[in-house]
Amino acid sequence: QVLLVESGGGSVQPGGSLRLSCSASGSTYNGRCMGWFRQTPGKEREWVGTIYTDSGSIRYADSVKGRFTLSQAVAQKTVYLQMSDLKPEDTAMYYCGTDAPRTSWYGPFPCSITRSGYSYWGQGTQVTVSS
């Protein structure tokens, strides 16, 4: 069982920046897909980006590409989401998710970009972008 804890949310003006953290504990960090999703009331949870911890391979949603950057600190079992040039439409609860470690997959990227591909979730951290 893996435990995920997000932190770093807050309120920021448009154009500002925030860095979210997702710390994993309780199970192996290696070979995991660590994904960030966001959700606003009444809407589906939207994929933001994912990093595969073994290779550091990363994918982003088009809506955040060029503004958001994923990184990781392997020794600390922590994934970061650096968000820049924030817009009001980025306002949401941000969640970190993962699934069981994987060592085989089809295609160029090991990880799912849909919510169904993630079984474990943190409690979320709120990001509000407003002037």
Number of H helices, E strands in the chain: 0, 11
Please state the separation of Cα 87 from the chain's center in Å: 17
pLDDT tens digit string along 41-92?
999 999 999 999 999 999 999 999 999 999 999 999 999 999 999 999 999 9
pLDDT tens digit string along 3-42?
999 999 999 999 999 999 999 998 889 999 999 999 999 9
